[in-house]
Structure 1
Amino acid sequence: MTTFSGQRWDGPLARAAIEDVDWASLTHAYGAADDVPDRIAALRSPDRSTRDQAYAALYGSVFHQGTRYAASPFAARALISLAADTATPQRHRVLTLLASLAIGYDDACLPGGFDPARLRREVAEAAALDPADARREMEEWVAEAPSEDIRRNRAYHLEVFDFAFERDCLRWALESYDAVRTGTAVYRALLEDDEPGVRIAAAYLLAWFPEDAERSVPALVEVLRTEAHGHVVATAAVAVLLLGGDAALTAWAERGMSDTGEPVAWAAAFVLACLGGGSARAEAVAVLQAHIAQDADGPEDDGPVPDDDETAAPDDEAAVSVPYLGGDLAGLAMAALELLGVDGGDAYA
C-alpha cells in the first residue's frame, strides 16, 4: 500500500483517495502507477517548477496522448479534493486535468457536447464481444480488400490491433468520466471562487456532464446573471449550450451580441448560431465572421504543441481565456457557421 508521502490536504476522504488505493497494482502508460501519489502531492508544492514537472508527468502517464488507464479514475478522485482545497496553487490546472481525464480532447465533442450514453453503449458492446470473434471480423475485412495496396494497409492494422487493450481503454475512459463526475458539486461551488481562472475552469468542466444538467444549468445561468468577468460569462454560456440549452440562455444571447466585451459577444453569437440563429441569425453570422476575420489578421499561430506537452503547463494568461478547443474561438465560430450553412471562410476573402 502506497502512502501519500509528506504533503497532505485536510479531510479523511481526500487522504483516503490516496492512502486506500493499492497504486502498485494499477497501471498507467509506463507501467505500475506507484509514482502517482507523489506526483499528485507535488501539485501542492509552493515551487512552480516542481508543479510543472508533476503536471507533465501526470499528463504523460494517466492521460497519455488522450488514453486513460487503470490508474486514471483513481487519480481523478484525488484531484477533485485538490481542486476543492483553496490552499492548492493554480487550481485551474487541476480542473483542466480533470476535464482531460473525463472526456479526452474536446475537439471531438464540439460544438455538440459530450454524449456519455454513447460511451456507455460502446463499453457494453465491447465487453460483450469475444476477442476471437473481433479478430475474425478483422481478418474478413482484410480479405475483402478491393486492392493489394488496401489489403496491405488493412493487414497492418490487423497486426497492431490489440482488441483486449482497446476494450480496456474504453472501460477506463468511462471509469475516468464517472470518477470526475463525482465532483460536479465541487465544480458548481467553484463557480463562486475568488479566482476567475478557477471559475472559468469549473464552468468548462461542468459542460461535459449532461446527466447532471438539472443541477448544473441553473448554477451556470446564475453566472450569466451575476458574473462580471467576460471570459467566465462566455465559458458559462457555452457550457449551458453544451448541456442542452435553456430559455434563459437564448434571451441572454440575444442581448449579449451587443456587449462591448469581445468574448461575451462571441459567445452570444456562437450560442445563437448553434441554436439555429432565430430572428437574430444575420446578426450572429456577422459577429462570428468578424471574429474569424479578426483572427485571420492577427499574429500567425505557431501551431499545436506536441501531445506530451499540450496541456501539461498552461500559463496563467491561458487560465483567464475561454478554454474550448484550446481557445480557438475562430475555429468554433467557423463550426457554428457551418451549422447554419454559411461558409466561414468568406471572412478571409
Structure 2
Amino acid sequence: MAGWSAIAGTHNYAVPDRVSAEALTEALAEYGFAMVVARPAQAEGWIVCALDEGPYPVDVQGHRTIDAVGKAAARLARGFGGYRQGGSRCDPGMLTHFRNAPIVRTNPGARPPVPTVVIAPAPPSYALELTPDPVSDAHADPSGLDEIEWSELDHAHGPAEDIPELIRALARDDDNWDALLDELFGDNLLHQGSCYSATAPALPFVGRLITTGGLRASRRLDLYTWLVTAADCLPAGVLADAEPASVRGRAPDAAPWTPDVHIAVGEQLPALLTRWEAEPPATRYVLACLAALYPDQGRRMVEDVAAMATRYAGHRPGEYLRIAEALLRGEDTRALTIAEQIFGWDEDLDADWLDAPNVTDAFRAGHVLADGTLRIVSNTA
C-alpha cells in the first residue's frame, strides 16, 4: 500500500448465469456503485464486479470499512442467487483496469451506503517463552511406518512414497529441519490448506515425534502448529463453503479428506495432553488451542486453560485463551462473542468467519482461535 493515495477496490459476486448477472449488475448500480461490470467465470456461471471508488483511508479502518461495504452488498446479491467471491484492494487510479467486460452499468457520482466501523484498541502482545525445556534422549518409534501402502496414497504432488523418509529425516533432527518440515507439510500433506489421502495416515507419526520428548521446544512448537493447521482444515473448509451453500439451499460441505484429518489429530490429543506439565508456555499455549478444538477429549484441561487465560489476561494470548476456555466449558455462544470482541481489534480476522450461515458457533469460534493461535506463537521468547 506504499504510495497509495487512498483505498479503493472491487467486490465480486458469483451468480449462476448471464440473466442473473445482468439483473444483479443493474441492482448494484442502483444500490450506489458508480460502475458495475460482469463477465463469464473461468469455470461456470458469471462474476459480477462492483467497482468501489471509495475513497477509504489507508489504514485498518479503511480496510474494515470497504470490507463492510462489500458484505452489506452481498445481502442484495443473495436475492439474485449470488454470493461473495473475493475482490481486490487498490489505489483508486487502478480501477480503470477492471472496466472492460461484456456487461457494464454505470451510476456516475454514486456511492454505496458506508457502515460505521469501530476499531477497538488492541491489547499488548506477549512473547511466549520456550523455556524451561527439558529434553530427553528418547527417539520416536517409527514402527508401523512401512506397513502403510504409501504408494496407494496421494499428497499434493502425486503418490506419497516419499512420506516415510521425510518423517524419518525429521526424527533425526538435523540442520535440514526447516526444509524438511516445509516439504512434508507445506509442499505435500497440507499444501495451500488442502488435505489429501496421505495426510491423516501421517499424523500419528508426527504426534510420536512430539510425545517422545526428544525434540527441543522450538521443534515441538513447529509440529504442534502444523497439527493445529491440520485440525483447522475441517472448519476452514466448511466456513469457505457456507455462503455458496446457503444461496443454493444446502448444508455447507467439508473439503476433501478434512474430516479424516480432523479425526486423526483428535486421536493424538490424549497422548499430547500428557505433556502439559512438561511443556513451556509457548507450546502449552498451542496445546490449549488443540484441547479446545476437541472439547470432548480436552475438557479435563479446562481449569489449566482457565489459569493460563488468567495469567495472560490483558494481553493478546489471554484474549484467545478466553475462547479456548469457553469452548472447553461447552459455552460455544460465549466463545463466539469473545471472538467477535477480538475482531474489533485484530485486523487479520475475517468478518465472514463470525456470521457464516448454517455453521455452528463452535466451528466459527474454533476457527478464529486456530487462526489467532498460529499468529500468537509466531512471537516467542
Larger fraction in helix: 1
| Structure with max Cα Rg | 2
Larger fraction in strand: 2
TM-score range relative to shorter protein: 0.3 to 0.5
Q: Normalising to structure 1: TM-score of the pair?
A: 0.48
